[in-house]
Amino acid sequence: MRRSFLVIRQDRIGDCVLATSLPRALKARWPGCRVTMLTRSATAPLFRHNPHVDAVWTDDWDDPARRDSFWTLVRRLRRGRFTHALMLLPKARYNYATFCAGIPVRVGHGIILFHALTLVRPVMTRKFRKGRHEADYALDLARAVGARTTDATPELYLSAKEKAPVQRRREAWSAGPPARRIVGLHTTSGGSAPNWPPEVWAELAARLAARPELAVVLTDPEPPPELLAVPGAVHAGRPADLREGMVNFAALDVLVSASTGPMHICGALGVPTVSLFCPLPSCEPALWGPLGNRAETVLPRPEYCRDRCPGDPHVCTYAGGSGVDPARVEERVLAAVQSSGSS
């Protein structure tokens, strides 16, 4: 019987990027299998043009206006005739839907009551074990059904039609003289990670824009006013959709950001990154750093975290002598630009 896999990834952009190694692993083990991704509408474009993905379905579990009713979802899954369901994020909705749809093999992380009630095959991972990456934890589900791989490198694909505007944007943004290296700044994070306030990002933008060899491009859909006021900083514009945002990122020589989705997009596209990070075990670069690119991470001084850590990485702004400052990040950017220029 031909294997047909349903891979359910109902998370944010970064989580979905780090799951792109699963379809590749499944196709490598069973070249004739079918792989369907079930994700949210906002992240579905990440899987477009992926040669290892046969179909992308959407279901916005957190938006009643954009999700199927439970039994409509069940009927949809039944029509898919899936043999396996890999559920990367434990959610009761998809646990019970895959069970009611009669999918024979269902796999999920950990032992959870609704998994146990429906006989989901548990994958016991030692979460936050030192040295393991989130992308590798995701691959554990593919390994649980027989895939054989150690390569957790994510991958995103641009179509031939999308590659043309990448080159046009590079030419427009880097125009000199002399021709300049393009540094993207993505200054917002949606509160998902430690981040600078806008005025600190504006200081970095001003430092970089003052260098004649660099072009500074703001990649946020709506940059804070402090960034728009920096002389020489160019706004890439509000992308029409996530795919257009990917085109913007692909045109960069390096991206500077907090630990957030655009960082992972650039990693999967092979664009170098300089990223602000937190050393807590649940946030550290070894677990959440970008993969597939040249990556520089900037961490606060140990004594800062010891004495001034707010306890919640989502509210940390690196204020008060953390060592994560514009001068230090500028040094990392210059090193990253030089490395990418010599490669």
At residue 127, the pLDDT reads 59
**Do 129 and 58 share a structural domain?**
yes
Number of domains within the chain: 2
Report yes or no on 150 lying in a domain: no
**Do 223 and 198 share a structural domain?**
yes
Q: Where is the domain boundary, 92, 112, 144?
A: 144
| Residue 80 scores a pLDDT above 90 | yes
**Do 183 and 89 share a structural domain?**
no
**Do 307 and 213 share a structural domain?**
yes
What is the CB-side half-sphere exposure of residue 298 using CA atoms within 13 A? 25
At 205, list the tokens: 């933008």
| Residue 129 scores a pLDDT above 70 | no
The parent domain of residue 236 ranges over 160-342
| Residue 343 scores a pLDDT above 60 | no
277 contacts: CB under 8 Å, gap ≥ 6: 193, 194, 259, 283, 284, 285, 288, 289, 297, 298, 299
| Residue 128 scores a pLDDT above 60 | no
Nearest residue to 14 (alpha-carbon basis) of 193, 220, 256: 193
| Residue 34 scores a pLDDT above 70 | yes
| Residue 212 scores a pLDDT above 70 | yes
DSSP 66: G
| Residue 176 scores a pLDDT above 80 | no
**Do 107 and 183 share a structural domain?**
no
At residue 192, the pLDDT reads 82
Paired strand residues for 106:
85
Counting DSSP H helices and E strands in the chain, the numbers are: 14, 12
Query: Could you read off the pLDDT of 85-119 as tens digits, one per residue?
Result: 999 989 999 999 999 999 999 999 988 999 999 99
